[in-house]
Structure 1
């Protein structure tokens, strides 16, 4: 088959009429139509402009994402801590606790400011040494004979 047909007609309308009159059938068909050198240069310039614009937008997006990450990170940490606390049904705090050692049961207990036991464990040898506070506390305990 020839590469080109109807090139003797310089007028595009006459060329199309020649092709239509001499063909076997007319069909809609998709194909890759090559660019002229001028069209190709124009598309390359368009591509360069679009690439520059994309780069600028991506930089703005990156800056915005960093800003959002900065705002989001503390909230995510707070949420994590809240989930842990809800899961444990308690929260970890550091506050003044009061230690009491029971000489009879040889246990040490820590009480918070509300007087609630927060931890108990076996007493150490140092804690089992009598102190003035422990002696006074034991003296003030009712013995059951004070009727």
Structure 2
């Protein structure tokens, strides 16, 4: 279909989608940076993303984080150490394998993250006032498919 009018139209539509995704990624990075600073002035974006994941998951270990975020284990280790130093993360020995550390967000970090999520959810709802539930479901489907590409 390349070269046909429909193919050209689809190529333009995909190019527009790529541009819009780039804007979303820039905005997400900005929100992560803002959120990290609100949790702790020295918290890096990488640490915020790890902490947010751990909080949502309930617990995690460094191996899981390295796989999930495709980060080197040394980066994970440094971020975990900083999160612990900032009082945002706790670790304990894994009951099944004492070599592993189970990581959990502190109650204070969980409460702060919950507040941030609620604020951002309200901003998202306000910003999408004209979007129907069906359109949101369709967008979610597109994002899920793109995540698998």
Say which one has the larger Rg: 1
TM-score, structure 1 normalization: 0.23
Which structure has greater strand proportion?
1
**Which of the pair has the greater relative contact order for Cα pairs under 8 Å at 6+ separation?**
2
Which structure has greater helix proportion?
2
